[in-house]
Structure 1
């Protein structure tokens, strides 16, 4: 394998043993730990009000979660139940403290903290409520793991709606960013714990009818095992199904949209022109590529050029059918493939003619740095006049932040590059990685400028609360960080242990393997920069919110890839399938319906929701493709719903699903 292909190959270090480690993750305890002290920890976050809500009385609900733990007396793992209490009171300010009561110092681990925080955001998002109107407190005891996220969310919803749980029902399952129920481990053992606690109904994640028993090292039909223990075991795909079975009542839902969303004529014309411009650029780059000397070309560049040509045909097919979403994104990708091929051959020519150090010097003087500065100035000078333009500006800032992170990574590779004579291979790796990241950064800047140009054409409702910008930015920034923390716990640390490498090295491997994780992590490190260098006010809020939305969508997709649906990869690291195919299919349907309903509701408020519609259309095509495409489709449905929700909050057009009491 050549250096060029080696450095850009997706590194597949997620081995079978790592997959098992992820599969077996669940809430866990240390047997024999007793409650000695109670400490409180909190995360402060803000979110925008959607409308004036009726007063909500304080309330609490005590329920149980399922866990597994190691029993030193029996010398094996066992299942059990633990008590938790959710208390929700009206807040006196717009700062909400999500308190976590612990039975030991650091008793609630990082994954439990992320699950609790996610459950509060999920519950209020599901009901179109303002999280800042309430004060949440979770008394969870000594526990860690993501598997109680679903029941934490259902409990918060029950308190807000004044409902109660069935006393003989219990659930295990994580809460995913799209409110579907994610996979967990140890279900056979947890069923034994549920039976011992007198439960008669146990809810498990969709797609986990067969689960691995760590004691017998065999796969178990959990429905049949439940029947032998005198219990009914039901698979649930999302929080709506889980809530109905736990409480006997239906969770309020957005009104289903009767028709597919369509672009306005103005947006249609603008996006079509942008797609045509990228196809023109692709042809120009391919012509320039063919004129470069063949002696500097390799199979890698030839493959990129071939992909550029095939994506031109695919983009034209979509555009001819009026599918502007996939047509635009495919045309942008065709330009990227052609540019990568051209840039690589140019770099190879410099290396062979002048040496690798000369090539590194040329890269260090890349005009990408000027392009970043110019785009930032343009973003700061943009003042949106309505919600639709605000969405476009936020997306542009998200692209700019991602581009900045890619450029920083490339600069770091070049700066740290060894100049020793025997480090030639490492230098080539650094050079080609820098070329690739610079090209990706240019693509992100192209998309940023397209978003601004599209925004200039759009009409929409007035921005009714600039305060909401800062509040939403903080909420989604924290949500993205919670996703990243979960990924580190469930994927990075097991990878480091399995491969005998450091945590930093494992993170680097995952970043090579997963572009979503790389982008989300890069953005997460950029918040402080944005906060410091941008002037205080709406412009900074747009920047941070745009970056937070991009990071949240990226981190959610990465979590779905490596944990929720457990992607299976070939030797080159490409996704070939999913362990949880059934759950993924259900989530695609669920996310599609939710995004469609959100888009329709916000559009009824007078907003041109072109950006959410483009992602929605693209997802509709991608979900019919291969495994990689299906994951991208899920991400695009999430992004469509996310941008529609933000538009609804800023314009105050979302109707709150008010508490029943």
Structure 2
């Protein structure tokens, strides 16, 4: 039977599902200039002899399929695979007629692949526009009024649009009620929030929506283990608070303005609140955040003290200390070596190991990012004055904080490993190709990063301000640590790959960590920056354009994760870190715009991690090597 995310029935762990063969035709909407139209794309899938996961593109015009549309095709293939528990293999074909670019056909491609898998047909004269997210939610797009008109001219009777986009700007910037406009043109325009709703409209058939039986909770053994780590993390936080209080008031004042000490206190308070409610898994996430942030600011204050006591004459010593990362790199290498000696025996062991590797790789990437920024800002500080000097000094302090956060991140990765390992878990399936799983998520990460950098806010800012994509990404990286790490992991990937291929027994799990962690993070970047977050001149997120769409995406991601946790429990393989994601995200999903995006990312990270465990346990049809 078809295994949907969260279902508790599963095939035999040592069996593998066959890849469905066939093709299906979709009709994506597009905009050219001030008018819209309907294109044609044939999607096919067939088994691959070498069990690889490959996409092939065919076009009848030079550049017929742009980079953003290619990324959307990868996203559709990967998302449909994860949602249905299909084997992580197959040859997917996308044959395009005409020229189409942009990610707005991602949701339609996903529904097409789901219909192909289920052997069901798409209704004629019904189409849709919308991006696709990892849990199956549909993201906002542009050009909807023009697309509706184009569909009407092509005699289409129904157009599906993303939830919250009934009132959309046309090419001239005027707001258009596209439902009313469609009615006048003879087209039924319907808002949909996810592939489950879209599937019903496009096929007339029902796709089961995941539904958790109850609130995910830790078992008693895991509870005690996690609670001990909460105590340890809050102890680290209090020690760092004391260290911070020992530095001069002038230095503290400059760092207080960064907001980091306040963020650390908020996280500590939230950890205590969750703990009182018995939600120690969520408390663990917040306590680690509190400890890492407070250790960051305390160490940063100590490092920056010579600026206050000696002025700019003390800068050389600070830059020399900050750019000498040999001790941190040694600690990073030592930690990787320790992970390499661990022998995972169950799905719970893998959950701990993969998340530990992910945290370590994030620390290394952030270390590399911060070191380069410190060196650059340090050189500029020596030749600047006035307002220019003040701005560069702010950049320098930010880079120092990132550097210290990288060091604290290693300690947090160790704590994650301790709570994730050696818990009750399911037996690892012997026929799962671990390298194949890692490659699958790495490709997904690359597709999401390409979607982030080639469309949406990044391309709009680059075009409007006459900047390169790299400059815009670097600007956003100063405001969003996820962007900083995502960009830097692309840069340091060869070094990480060298470690993965160095002969470590756990190299395959390290590759999984790199792929899965970046897949989730880069997906969140798309959801933030494609067409939903509102940014100020300093690239700070100040508001949300489509509040209802974000709320729907968060609710579905929560249900997806809850259902997946229930499914793993039914197989006697209860996750721990996925539960931590669930509990922590519930705390912030109604908070500020940035917190709401973070909650969505937490739910999605937990869902994808839990889905990984179903593959490694052999419960989702992962193909044997």
Instruction: Give the structure-2-normalised TM-score.
Output: 0.90
Identify the residue that residue 272 of structure 1 maps to in structure 2.
227
Give me the whole-angstrom Cα distance separating, in 1, the residues matched to 2:162 and 2:299: 46
Give me the whole-angstrom Cα distance separating, in 2, the residues matched to 1:89 and 1:300: 57
Deviates more, 1:365-374 or 1:323-332: 365-374
Give me the whole-angstrom Cα distance separating, in 1, the residues matched to 2:179 and 2:265: 50
Name the CA shift for 1:118/1:435 in 2 (closer, same or farther; >3 Å). same
How far 1:305 moved relative to its partner?
3.9
Report Cα offsets for 1:184-235 as digits up to 9, x if no partner: 11111111111111111111111100111114x3101011001001121110
**Retained in 2: the 8 A contact 1:206–1:582?**
yes
Give me the whole-angstrom Cα distance separating, in 1, the residues matched to 2:250 and 2:479: 30
Give me the whole-angstrom Cα distance separating, in 2, the residues matched to 1:321 and 1:176: 32
Report Cα offsets for 1:586-635 as digits up to 9, x if no partner: 11111111111111112211213001111011111111322222111110
Identify the residue that residue 320 of structure 2 maps to in structure 1.
361
Give me the whole-angstrom Cα distance separating, in 2, the residues matched to 1:305 and 1:125: 39
Identify which of 603, 625, 634 aligns with 2:591.
625
Give me the whole-angstrom Cα distance separating, in 2, the residues matched to 1:313 and 1:228: 54
List gaps (5 residues or longer) in structure 1.
1-48, 71-76, 657-661
Task: Please provide the CA RMSD for this pair.
Answer: 2.4
Identify which of 419, 423, 426 aligns with 1:458.
423
For residues 99-498 of structure 1, what are the structure 2 equivalents within 5 Å? 99-132=56-89, 134-141=90-97, 142-215=99-172, 217-254=173-210, 256-301=211-256, 304-354=260-310, 355-366=314-325, 367-416=327-376, 417-418=378-379, 421-423=382-384, 425=389, 428=393, 431-465=396-430, 467-490=432-455, 491-498=457-464
Give me the whole-angstrom Cα distance separating, in 1, the residues matched to 2:589 and 2:262: 24
How far 1:567 moved relative to its partner?
1.4
Identify the residue that residue 26 of structure 2 maps to in structure 1.
63
Identify which of 647, 658, 661 aligns with 2:613.
647
Report Cα offsets for 1:118-169 as digits up to 9, x if no partner: 111122222111141x322111222111111111111112222111111121
**Partner SS, residue 170 of structure 1:** strand
Identify the residue that residue 591 of structure 1 maps to in structure 2.
557
Deviates more, 1:647-656 or 1:608-617: 647-656
Name the CA shift for 1:453/1:154 in 2 (closer, same or farther; >3 Å). same
Identify the residue that residue 497 of structure 2 maps to in structure 1.
531
Identify the residue that residue 561 of structure 1 maps to in structure 2.
528
**Partner SS, residue 193 of structure 1:** helix
Deviates more, 1:294-303 or 1:351-360: 294-303
How far 1:528 moved relative to its partner?
2.3
Identify the residue that residue 79 of structure 1 maps to in structure 2.
36
Give me the whole-angstrom Cα distance separating, in 1, the residues matched to 2:44 and 2:247: 68
How far 1:467 moved relative to its partner?
4.5
How far 1:105 moved relative to its partner?
2.9
Name the CA shift for 1:130/1:292 in 2 (closer, same or farther; >3 Å). same
List gaps (5 residues or longer) in structure 2.
1-11
Give me the whole-angstrom Cα distance separating, in 2, the residues matched to 1:341 and 1:57: 53
Name the CA shift for 1:648/1:191 in 2 (closer, same or farther; >3 Å). same
Identify the residue that residue 546 of structure 1 maps to in structure 2.
513
Report Cα offsets for 1:553-603 as digits up to 9, x if no partner: 111111111125x11245665434311101111111111111111111122
Instruction: Give the structure-1-normalised TM-score.
Output: 0.86
Name the CA shift for 1:313/1:184 in 2 (closer, same or farther; >3 Å). closer
**Retained in 1: the 8 A contact 2:292–2:412?**
no
Give me the whole-angstrom Cα distance separating, in 2, the residues matched to 1:317 and 1:584: 26
Give me the whole-angstrom Cα distance separating, in 2, the residues matched to 1:405 and 1:624: 30
Deviates more, 1:572-581 or 1:109-118: 572-581
Deviates more, 1:528-537 or 1:482-491: 528-537
**Retained in 2: the 8 A contact 1:58–1:87?**
yes
Name the CA shift for 1:226/1:524 in 2 (closer, same or farther; >3 Å). same
Name the CA shift for 1:306/1:430 in 2 (closer, same or farther; >3 Å). closer
How far 1:442 moved relative to its partner?
2.0
